[in-house]
Amino acid sequence: MAVTSNETGDTVTIHVTGRFDFAAHQDFLNAYKGHPKGEKKFVVDLAGTEYMDSSAMGMLLQLREHGRAGEVVELTNSSEGVREILRIANFDKLFKVA
């Protein structure tokens, strides 16, 4: 599991590779908490994510609260399996899943 991030203008992209579970909690938190609440748009790139559990979904909900008001957090490049997990949890209604 690895969590990295990069910033381009007003957008922060967080990359999660491997298993997205509680072991990623501190690294995921560090990827966005350094940015003042409400100032950035966030994109989570799940291209390398093999699996995610309920703790990962909780982390995504926390991120959603940290982002810029009115901006929807984007979850991009997810595998079919991860997209299905997001769909079953109705996260496609809370996030932009691409």
DSSP string of 69-81, one letter each residue: TTPPPEEES--HH
- Domain of 35, in residue numbers: 2-97
Closest CA to 9 of 40, 35, 31: 40
| Chain segment 35-46, per-residue pLDDT in tens | 999 999 999 999
The pair of three-digit structure tokens given for residue 31, joined into one six-digit string: 């990827």
Tell me the pLDDT band of 1, cut-offs 50, 70 and 90: confident
The dihedral over CA atoms of 49, 85, 56, 70, expressed in degrees to the nearest 10, equals 100
* CATH of residue 90: 3.30.750.24
Q: How many domains does the chain have?
A: 1
pTM above 0.85, yes or no: yes
